[in-house]
Structure 1
Amino acid sequence: MAETTARSGSVQSIERAFGLLELMADAGGMLGLSQLATASGLPLPTIHRLVRTLVDLGYVRQEPSRQYVLGPKLIRLGETSSHMLSVWARPHLARLVDELGESANMAMLDGDQVVYLAQVQSRHSMRMFTEVGRRVLPHCTAVGKAIMSQLRDTEVRELLQRTGMPKHTETTITDVEEFAAQLRKAQQDGYATDEGEQELGVRCIAVPVPDVPSRLAMSISGPAGRMTETLVDRAIPLLTQAAQSLSDDLR
């Protein structure tokens, strides 16, 4: 019984430690002990013990202000995790390319930007070259809209206030209310579109990846002339299925 209790206690400590890291991440990366105690509901001595362990391991750092911030050692874990997301996504993206003929992408909301983590290129000679690792603002991309359609309205507005809504093409949405209306439609329809808003002549359609800790979306994109309504109608259920399959793989 003692051995079982020890194992249970160890698992509980791990769960609590990761819970604190997630609380700090949700708060922008910095919190004090009392804030962590309030947010987690754990006793202050327990918080202090867990945080000291995380500091000793390099996953949390204490600032001169006495607050705690996420440590640089987490960067290596994040980079490896992003790479693995790409590995897991590629088979699903490849099937989309086989079925639809256009380039397929997976992207994630990282801070206030969208970063492309994985891509399988179309076999057409004229295709999109959104390279893996590219970062863009979310207001002018289908993947950004798909992800933001899952956020609270206040989160969306705060993000747009921080980034602004720079105009890239004639069709880029630069009005907050119009953008909010598009997000409501995307939430209702289950998919979002980019009608040449990031790059002239390029059309993109994207769906959010459901039930995953990271804010992810999958998309197909191609020249507007090939991305017809018929293709889009075929793509929506295939994208939705691919996103659900990826979600199942990540659980």
Structure 2
Amino acid sequence: MGSVQRAMRLLECVADHEHGAPAKQLARETGLALPTAYHLLRTLAHEGYLRRDRGLFFLGGAAERLSGSAAQQKRRSTIVDALAHWRDSVGAPVYYAVYREGEIEINCVSDTPGNPAVQEWADFRETGHAHAVGKCLLSQLDEDARRDHLARYPVRTITPYTVRDDGALLRRLERTRRMEPVVERQEYALGVACAAIPITVGATAATIAISLPARQADRLLPATRQLQGEIGRLLGSLAISISI
């Protein structure tokens, strides 16, 4: 345990020196005996956590990957906590999705036993024309990107309420005003109504959505407006999480 603690102190010290530092300086700043520092530095370099160049030590690829993983986990924790807060605030399951590399990705869902999320009975990626999440993401794309998506995932009937063909869907998307919530009722799953709020950060299309039983459809728009207000207050924290 002592060796691990000393090695971590050396890593932290190296991280503080963007332009590298020699072993003697690192030993002095960490309070380690020079032979101990040399031994640990060589071990860390051998394992890829440090690299040595012209007598100076820098963070290595393994340390940078570890740092990147920690940062990614922190971003994911941010969105998970935000979704749980919104779920409890509006009393409905909350979904977070992005459109990345031509695909619809549901990245996080927060629900409870009393308010369960919609079951994915038909692949969400292939049925973007039917659910609010997909239509919200598609509404943020340009016409060429929409047509490319539909060429790969054409409109097909999911329920009696699903939009009937590509042309009808494109016309509906064109009528959607920028940053306007998208609502669908029983188009993906019978007995379920959904609303999705668009979020665009840079070139990334994203959305936060909720679902409710169709019998509670009168709650959908008030809950969506409430959710929009909640998102507005946390948008700064959310923006850094788009890349999850």
Q: What residue number does 1:152 align with?
A: 142
Counterpart code for 2:207? A
Q: RMSD in angstroms over aligned alpha carbons?
A: 3.0
SS at match of 1:140: coil
Deviations 1:111-152, CA, capped at 9 Å, x for gaps: 34322111110452x632447xx7423211111111111111
SS at match of 1:139: coil
CA distance in 2, matches of 1:232, 1:179: 22
Identity of aligned residues (%): 20
Choose from 225, 228, 243 the match for 2:215.
225
CA distance in 2, matches of 1:90, 1:107: 12
Equivalent residue pairs, number: 172
Deviations 1:155-188, CA, capped at 9 Å, x for gaps: 2122112221122111121322221232234335
CA distance in 2, matches of 1:120, 1:104: 5
SS at match of 1:143: helix
- CA distance 1:200–1:114, shift in 2 (3 Å): same
Choose from 91, 112, 117 the match for 1:128.
117
Post-superposition offset of 1:217? 0.6
Judge conservation of contact 1:86–1:117 (CA < 8 Å) in 2.
no
Counterparts of 1:92-171 in structure 2, within 5 Å, are 92-124=82-114, 127-130=116-119, 135-137=124-126, 138-171=128-161
Q: What residue number does 2:4 align with?
A: none
Post-superposition offset of 1:194? 2.3
Counterparts of 1:7-18 in structure 2, within 5 Å, are none
CA distance in 2, matches of 1:113, 1:84: 24
Judge conservation of contact 1:93–1:104 (CA < 8 Å) in 2.
yes
Gaps of 5+ in 1: 1-6, 8-56, 58-73
Report the structure number with the largest CA radius of gyration: 2
Judge conservation of contact 2:141–2:205 (CA < 8 Å) in 1.
no
- CA distance 1:113–1:200, shift in 2 (3 Å): farther
- CA distance 1:244–1:181, shift in 2 (3 Å): farther
Counterpart code for 2:99? L
Q: What residue number does 1:184 align with?
A: 174
SS at match of 2:173: helix
- CA distance 1:86–1:110, shift in 2 (3 Å): same
CA distance in 2, matches of 1:86, 1:130: 22
- CA distance 1:161–1:82, shift in 2 (3 Å): farther
Q: What residue number does 1:89 align with?
A: 79
Judge conservation of contact 2:210–2:224 (CA < 8 Å) in 1.
no
